[in-house]
Structure 1
Amino acid sequence: MNFDLDDEQILVRDAIDRLFDTQAAAETHDLATEWRAYQDLGLIALPFSAEQGGLDGSRETIMLLMESYGRTLAQAPYLQSVLLAGRILARTGHPALGDLLDGGLHAVLCLHEPGMRYRWDIPATQAVRTDAGWTLRGAKVAVLDADSADLILCPATTAEGLAIFLVPAATPGLSVQIHPTPDGRRAANLTFDVMLPHDAAIGDPAMLGEAVDGGIVACCAEAVGAMERLVSLSADYLNTRHQFGVPLSCFQALQHRAADMLVAVEQARSMTFYAVSMLDAPPAQRQVAVAASKALVNRAARFVGSEAIQLHGGMGLAAEYPAGRYFQRLTVLETMLGDTDHLLEQVEAGPPLPS
């Protein structure tokens, strides 16, 4: 596999880096302003086809975007609104996609339920067909960016099997309980006891697995970006902090630990490239490849984050210093859309990967 970027990808990466660096350096953060900048640069339209009003961006380009997102600890709801909910809307041809591309709509996909861990494919949330439409009842937990959502995509079990339901955020009977995440973002627990029209059910449930696997790869790329920045912060600290009259970077044991961190980042990047290349594989092989990739990225994130905190000493835990914030982001990404134990269970139960 060729890991080198072509000229177009380099130009896109540099433009994305400039935007994210500018937003990260701002003293205040306004979601509406940042989201408008995403739209102006074409980032919202990037993953979608030209026929749908998008820019036909490649999966490799999306990976570069998410790496930059992780390097700058961005907080705009790109994963949820564009890469998860947006892709489902695109696959179904739903008109709400147009509002999303215009920047006027935020959507979220709620997957996880109390006591179900990561088994989003067998939801306890139930939808019953009535003469008036659908009655949807159930609960979802840890829905990132739900507080800013205009539209919620909720998988539920029906008499015919799994279905996806569109629930406007203002629907009576929808309860939203917001809580902070460890990395300073906001998530919510949702309770549904709502009435929906007949056309609220959309799409083939198979597309849900495709969207989730794409989201997992995006999480891997985001983690790689965060780890890369954390290694850079650690190297700067070792070169700056002195002990016994010399920089910490002069001590061979610390050099070895920094080198091990760098190796872990490059392994994680290689596995993320592999996962990207497998997104067009048959569903069973795609799922195993993506699960194996995130399991390795999770372990790398835990290793790099822990080593960085130890190398920084007390500074690594100071709220004023960025190393701790990157460690918090990596901790959240480690559990997002599947922790290591769950992913390894998928790898063990799935078909063998192609040689």
Structure 2
Amino acid sequence: MDFDFSDDQEQLRDAVRKWVDKGYDFERRRGIEAAGGFSREAWDELSELGLGGLYISEDDGGLGMGPVAGMVVMEELGRGIVLEPFAQTLIAGGVLSGYAGADVKDAWLPRIAGGQALVVLAHHERKARYRTDVCEATATKAGDGWTVSGTKGVVPAGDQADAYLVPATVDGKIALFLVERSADGVAARGYGTQDGGRAAEVVFDKAAAALVTLDGLTALEHAVDIGIAAICAEAVGVMDKTLAVTVEYMNTRKQFGVTIATFQALRHRLADMKMQLELARSMSYYASLKLNAPTAERRQAVARAKYQLGVSMRFVGQNAVQLHGGIGVTDEYIVSHYFKRLTQMEMSFGDTLHHLGEVSARMEETAGVFA
């Protein structure tokens, strides 16, 4: 199998990497974190690169480059631990392109592609944990439209977004709706997250909504899988940079008159971190390449990938801190921020134990052999 990237994908990687290196350094990130965890200015700069249309067809105003291009971008954003939730744009673009009717597509896809609208997935509920089939929010027909009522938690940049993708039950089945933040009956309470980003609790009280699809569970599962693939790619970028910073530190930090990089036991630890990174990278590729596969195959692939990424994120993050010593957990040093981001990503869209259960449930007759 050919894993070489196309010229367009390499140019895309180079453009995003240059922006991260020059326009989103550690000091700017700390400033955005201190200001609340989201910067509309930084979001606009990302949009100017044309990234919003990666999952949106050219007919709808996008680039139509697909999952591999999304993976490339997320890796580079991971290297800079960018706080703005670009994965949510991939989710919105993919879901609306695949499931929405013409009226919703025409109203929102060009705006998402151009960066004028930030649309985020609002699906977490207190009783659901990581299950997508548990939903207490309800939707009711109201004339020619719909209204949605319910509460969603941990919504990425929920008090800054322009609209939400909201699953809600209709006659006992989950449907998916699009609700604007400016609609009457919508209240968002924002807060900072552990990794420096921003989320919100969003309450919908008979808020006007546009129907995306009545087959909401299928669409929601696809949205979550897009999110998992994006998280996996971002984590590869975070781990890659974490390892590089750790190697640089070990080549400068001296103990007993020599750099600690000369100690064999510590070199073995670095080799183990590199192995976990490469395992994670291969599974990230696997997840992205399976995003357009049939549902059962796709769901199985992303569960496998998220499990391996969870193991790798924990190993690389914890060992980076251990190899740095006390400085590795100080707020002034970047490794602590990589570690916090890896820790939060490990629990996003289902933690490692959850996805181990998903992998186990889908083994069927293969008895653990990946068919």
Q: Which TM-score band (shorter chain)? A: over 0.9
Query: Which moves more between the two structures, 212-221 or 3-12?
Result: 3-12
Distance 1:315 1:5, change over 3 A: same
2:48 is aligned, of 40, 63, 82, to 40
1:50 equivalent in alignment to 2:58? yes
1:16 equivalent in alignment to 2:16? yes
Q: Which residue of structure 1 lines up, in the alignment, with residue 83 of structure 2?
A: 75
Deviation (angstroms), 1:120? 2.3
Distance 1:46 1:318, change over 3 A: same
1:179 equivalent in alignment to 2:187? no
Amino acid at match of 1:9: Q
Amino acid at match of 1:219: I
1:201 is aligned, of 207, 211, 217, to 211
5+ unaligned residues in a row in structure 2: which ranges?
33-37
TM-score with structure 1 setting the length:
0.94
1:90 equivalent in alignment to 2:102? no
Q: Distance in 1 between matches of 2:60 and 2:363?
A: 34
Query: Which moves more between the two structures, 124-133 or 10-19?
Result: 124-133
Q: Is the 8 A contact 1:113 1:141 kept in 2?
A: yes
Distance 1:189 1:32, change over 3 A: closer
Amino acid at match of 1:75: L
Query: Which moves more between the two structures, 206-215 or 252-261?
Result: 206-215
Distance 1:291 1:179, change over 3 A: same
Q: Distance in 2 between matches of 1:130 and 1:7?
A: 50
1:211 equivalent in alignment to 2:211? no
Deviation (angstroms), 1:158? 0.9
**1:254-278 deviations in whole A, cap 9, x for unaligned?**
0000110011000000011111222
**1:179-208 deviations in whole A, cap 9, x for unaligned?**
2111101111122212426xx222242232
What is the alpha-carbon root mean square deviation over aligned residues? 1.8
Give SS of 1:123's match.
coil
1:147 is aligned, of 134, 144, 159, to 159
Q: Distance in 1 between matches of 2:219 and 2:151?
A: 22
Query: After TM superposition, which residue ranges in structure 1, 4 or more long, deviate above 4 angstroms?
Result: 130-133, 351-354
Give SS of 2:51's match.
coil
2:239 is aligned, of 215, 227, 245, to 227
**1:289-322 deviations in whole A, cap 9, x for unaligned?**
1011111101100000000000000010111100
Query: Which moves more between the two structures, 188-197 or 219-228?
Result: 188-197
Deviation (angstroms), 1:339? 0.6
Deviation (angstroms), 1:54? 1.1
**1:205-230 deviations in whole A, cap 9, x for unaligned?**
22322222111011000001000100
Q: Distance in 1 between matches of 2:175 and 2:222?
A: 14
TM-score with structure 2 setting the length:
0.90
Q: Which residue of structure 1 lines up, in the alignment, with residue 35 of structure 2?
A: none
Q: Which residue of structure 1 lines up, in the alignment, with residue 327 of structure 2?
A: 315
Aligned residues: 352
Q: Which residue of structure 1 lines up, in the alignment, with residue 114 of structure 2?
A: 102
Amino acid at match of 1:347: V
**1:25-47 deviations in whole A, cap 9, x for unaligned?**
26455833322322222111222
Distance 1:335 1:124, change over 3 A: same
**1:139-193 deviations in whole A, cap 9, x for unaligned?**
1111111121111111011116211122111223222222211110111112221
Q: Is the 8 A contact 1:128 1:159 kept in 2?
A: no
Give SS of 1:56's match.
coil
Q: Distance in 2 between matches of 1:195 and 1:47?
A: 28
Give SS of 1:55's match.
coil
% same residue: 40
